[in-house]
């Protein structure tokens, strides 16, 4: 995990994190201690896997990854193939992302956006889901999306 992941973990530890919405599929949020119920993975995750045929969840991810490392296809009891629960191009986003984005952004009193180009939709539009009076804070190399024109303050670090 990076210092940014640990910053999110610190927000959780202080009781300030409503939810962490992420496009990442790498499980780094979990690695720094953010609980599963506070993580919303818009593009899925390598943390779980499901059968491509019947939809059954893989119950032993250690065995799954051992098979993958040994160039074997992890198979389900139905003889289908397990795949990590990541969203491929053309697949729908997880319902958890859609449901919680509608719920959480109504309750949000500050939105922090970090490390993104804000070009992939619908994720890029989340900053617009909060009320107009909710502060938006961007930690990023460049101003992106709605932050390009609407930023009240900009602090540039060293390149």
pLDDT in tens, 91-129: 888 899 999 998 999 999 999 999 888 888 888 888 888
Contact call for residues 152 and 127 (beta carbons, < 8 A): no
Phi, psi at 9, each rounded to 5°: -60, -40
Clarify whether 43 is annotated catalytic. Answer: yes
Which of 43, 44, 64, 118 is flagged as catalytic? 43
Instruction: With cut-offs at 50, 70 and 90, classify the pLDDT of residue 158.
Output: low
Dist. CA 141–CA 44, nearest whole Å: 25
- Reported pTM: 0.83
Instruction: With cut-offs at 50, 70 and 90, classify the pLDDT of residue 41.
Output: very high
Q: What is the rounded average pLDDT for all residues in the chain?
A: 91
């Amino acid at each position: 995990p990076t210092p940014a992941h640990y910053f999110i973990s610190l927000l959780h530890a202080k009781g300030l994190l409503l939810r962490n919405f992420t496009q990442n599929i790498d499980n780094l949020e979990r690695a720094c201690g953010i609980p599963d119920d506070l993580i919303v993975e818009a593009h899925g995750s390598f943390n779980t896997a499901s059968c491509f045929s019947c939809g059954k969840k893989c119950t032993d991810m250690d065995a799954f990854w051992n098979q993958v490392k040994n160039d074997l296809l992890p198979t389900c009891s139905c003889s289908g193939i397990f795949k990590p629960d990541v969203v491929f191009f053309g697949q729908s986003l997880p319902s958890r992302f859609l449901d919680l984005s509608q719920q959480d952004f109504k309750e949000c009193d500050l939105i922090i956006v970090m490390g993104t180009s804000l070009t992939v939709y619908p994720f890029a539009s989340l900053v617009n889901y909060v009320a107009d009076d909710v502060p938006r804070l961007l930690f990023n190399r460049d101003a992106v999306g709605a932050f390009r024109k609407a930023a009240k303050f900009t602090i540039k670090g060293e390149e």
